[in-house]
Amino acid sequence: MQGLLRAAFCASLLYSSNPTLAASVYRCEDDSGHITFTLQGCATNQKLQVQNADNPRPGDGKPVLLAKSKKHPRRSKAQKNQGQQLVVVGEHQDGCGNKLTGASRRTAMIGQQVRSGMTLKDVESALGKPDKISSQNGQMRYLYRDKEGNSKQVSFDENGCVRSKR
Protein backbone atom coordinates (compact mmCIF):
# COMPACT_ATOMS: atom_id res chain seq x y z
CA MET A 1 0.00 0.00 0.00
CA GLN A 2 2.79 2.40 0.93
CA GLY A 3 4.51 1.69 -2.43
CA LEU A 4 1.30 2.48 -4.27
CA LEU A 5 0.94 5.81 -2.43
CA ARG A 6 4.54 6.68 -3.19
CA ALA A 7 4.05 5.91 -6.89
CA ALA A 8 0.86 8.00 -6.97
CA PHE A 9 2.66 10.87 -5.25
CA CYS A 10 5.57 10.72 -7.74
CA ALA A 11 3.14 10.62 -10.66
CA SER A 12 1.31 13.66 -9.32
CA LEU A 13 4.60 15.53 -9.14
CA LEU A 14 5.50 14.61 -12.70
CA TYR A 15 2.12 15.48 -14.16
CA SER A 16 1.39 18.66 -12.24
CA SER A 17 -0.06 21.34 -14.49
CA ASN A 18 1.25 24.31 -12.52
CA PRO A 19 4.77 25.31 -13.51
CA THR A 20 7.02 25.43 -10.48
CA LEU A 21 9.95 27.77 -10.17
CA ALA A 22 11.63 25.81 -7.42
CA ALA A 23 13.22 22.40 -7.91
CA SER A 24 12.02 19.38 -5.94
CA VAL A 25 14.67 17.47 -4.06
CA TYR A 26 13.94 14.13 -2.44
CA ARG A 27 15.20 13.43 1.09
CA CYS A 28 15.63 9.67 1.43
CA GLU A 29 16.31 7.97 4.75
CA ASP A 30 17.07 4.25 5.03
CA ASP A 31 16.50 1.95 8.03
CA SER A 32 19.96 2.70 9.51
CA GLY A 33 19.30 6.48 9.49
CA HIS A 34 21.54 7.29 6.50
CA ILE A 35 20.13 10.34 4.65
CA THR A 36 20.55 10.96 0.92
CA PHE A 37 19.31 13.92 -1.13
CA THR A 38 18.52 13.20 -4.79
CA LEU A 39 16.56 14.51 -7.75
CA GLN A 40 15.53 11.02 -8.97
CA GLY A 41 13.47 9.75 -6.01
CA CYS A 42 14.05 7.19 -3.28
CA ALA A 43 14.38 3.41 -3.25
CA THR A 44 11.33 1.45 -2.10
CA ASN A 45 12.83 0.58 1.31
CA GLN A 46 13.59 4.23 2.18
CA LYS A 47 11.43 6.94 3.75
CA LEU A 48 10.57 9.68 1.26
CA GLN A 49 10.25 13.36 2.08
CA VAL A 50 10.03 16.05 -0.63
CA GLN A 51 12.14 19.17 -0.07
CA ASN A 52 11.63 22.30 -2.16
CA ALA A 53 14.89 23.92 -3.20
CA ASP A 54 13.96 27.56 -3.54
CA ASN A 55 16.53 30.18 -4.52
CA PRO A 56 14.78 33.57 -4.41
CA ARG A 57 16.41 36.78 -5.52
CA PRO A 58 17.86 38.84 -2.70
CA GLY A 59 15.95 41.90 -1.52
CA ASP A 60 12.53 42.59 -2.94
CA GLY A 61 12.92 40.15 -5.84
CA LYS A 62 13.40 42.76 -8.55
CA PRO A 63 16.41 42.31 -10.84
CA VAL A 64 19.36 44.56 -10.07
CA LEU A 65 21.42 46.12 -12.85
CA LEU A 66 25.07 45.47 -12.04
CA ALA A 67 26.69 47.73 -14.62
CA LYS A 68 25.66 50.23 -17.24
CA SER A 69 27.33 50.12 -20.62
CA LYS A 70 28.36 53.33 -22.30
CA LYS A 71 27.17 53.87 -25.82
CA HIS A 72 29.89 55.04 -28.16
CA PRO A 73 29.03 56.88 -31.35
CA ARG A 74 29.44 54.64 -34.39
CA ARG A 75 32.30 55.52 -36.68
CA SER A 76 33.30 53.97 -39.96
CA LYS A 77 36.62 52.14 -40.30
CA ALA A 78 37.95 54.98 -42.42
CA GLN A 79 37.17 57.46 -39.65
CA LYS A 80 38.73 55.21 -37.03
CA ASN A 81 41.96 54.82 -39.01
CA GLN A 82 42.14 58.41 -40.17
CA GLY A 83 45.34 60.02 -39.00
CA GLN A 84 46.64 56.77 -37.55
CA GLN A 85 49.78 55.19 -38.90
CA LEU A 86 50.60 51.51 -38.63
CA VAL A 87 53.41 51.00 -36.13
CA VAL A 88 55.36 47.74 -36.03
CA VAL A 89 56.31 47.17 -32.42
CA GLY A 90 58.84 44.45 -33.07
CA GLU A 91 59.90 42.14 -35.82
CA HIS A 92 62.23 39.18 -35.97
CA GLN A 93 65.78 40.03 -37.01
CA ASP A 94 67.66 37.08 -38.44
CA GLY A 95 70.97 38.98 -38.54
CA CYS A 96 71.10 38.81 -42.33
CA GLY A 97 68.86 41.75 -43.16
CA ASN A 98 65.66 39.68 -43.32
CA LYS A 99 66.22 38.99 -47.04
CA LEU A 100 64.20 35.77 -46.87
CA THR A 101 60.71 35.25 -45.55
CA GLY A 102 60.09 32.36 -43.21
CA ALA A 103 58.24 30.41 -45.92
CA SER A 104 60.99 30.82 -48.54
CA ARG A 105 63.63 29.91 -45.94
CA ARG A 106 61.77 26.69 -45.03
CA THR A 107 61.21 25.82 -48.71
CA ALA A 108 64.92 26.22 -49.44
CA MET A 109 65.92 24.15 -46.43
CA ILE A 110 63.50 21.33 -47.33
CA GLY A 111 64.76 21.36 -50.93
CA GLN A 112 68.40 21.33 -49.70
CA GLN A 113 69.07 24.66 -51.42
CA VAL A 114 71.23 27.54 -50.30
CA ARG A 115 70.03 31.10 -50.85
CA SER A 116 71.52 34.48 -50.13
CA GLY A 117 70.33 35.70 -46.73
CA MET A 118 70.45 32.29 -45.02
CA THR A 119 72.39 31.90 -41.78
CA LEU A 120 75.01 29.31 -40.83
CA LYS A 121 72.37 27.33 -38.95
CA ASP A 122 70.02 27.45 -41.95
CA VAL A 123 72.71 26.03 -44.24
CA GLU A 124 73.58 23.30 -41.75
CA SER A 125 69.88 22.42 -41.46
CA ALA A 126 69.60 22.18 -45.24
CA LEU A 127 72.87 20.44 -46.12
CA GLY A 128 74.13 19.01 -42.83
CA LYS A 129 77.56 19.47 -41.26
CA PRO A 130 80.20 20.53 -43.82
CA ASP A 131 83.04 18.25 -44.88
CA LYS A 132 85.52 21.10 -44.47
CA ILE A 133 85.42 24.55 -42.85
CA SER A 134 87.93 27.24 -43.79
CA SER A 135 88.25 30.85 -42.72
CA GLN A 136 90.10 33.70 -44.43
CA ASN A 137 89.92 37.46 -43.79
CA GLY A 138 86.97 37.06 -41.41
CA GLN A 139 84.96 35.10 -43.97
CA MET A 140 84.03 31.50 -43.40
CA ARG A 141 83.61 28.87 -46.11
CA TYR A 142 81.80 25.55 -45.90
CA LEU A 143 82.81 22.84 -48.35
CA TYR A 144 80.44 19.98 -49.12
CA ARG A 145 81.32 16.90 -51.21
CA ASP A 146 78.81 14.34 -52.45
CA LYS A 147 79.38 10.63 -53.23
CA GLU A 148 80.13 11.30 -56.91
CA GLY A 149 82.97 13.71 -56.08
CA ASN A 150 81.06 16.90 -56.82
CA SER A 151 81.69 19.77 -54.42
CA LYS A 152 79.69 22.74 -53.27
CA GLN A 153 81.20 25.73 -51.49
CA VAL A 154 79.20 28.22 -49.44
CA SER A 155 80.80 31.50 -48.35
CA PHE A 156 79.60 33.47 -45.36
CA ASP A 157 80.23 37.11 -44.45
CA GLU A 158 81.46 38.35 -41.06
CA ASN A 159 77.88 38.12 -39.67
CA GLY A 160 77.52 34.45 -40.61
CA CYS A 161 75.17 35.11 -43.54
CA VAL A 162 75.39 33.42 -46.94
CA ARG A 163 77.37 35.62 -49.24
CA SER A 164 77.88 33.37 -52.23
CA LYS A 165 77.72 29.75 -53.29
CA ARG A 166 79.57 27.83 -55.95
Render pLDDT for 34-45 as a digit per residue (tens, 0 to 9): 888 888 888 888
Among 31, 40, 47, which residue's Cα sits nearest to residue 10? 40
- Rg of the chain over all Cα atoms, to the nearest angstrom: 40
| Contact of 30 with 46, CB cutoff 8 Å | yes
Q: How far apart are CA 80 and CA 86, in angstroms?
A: 13
Render pLDDT for 72-123 as a digit per residue (tens, 0 to 9): 667 666 666 666 677 767 666 777 877 788 888 889 889 988 888 888 888 8
**Can you say how many angstroms the Cα of residue 164 is from the centroid of all Cα atoms in its chain?**
42
Q: How far apart are CA 152 and CA 150, in angstroms?
A: 7
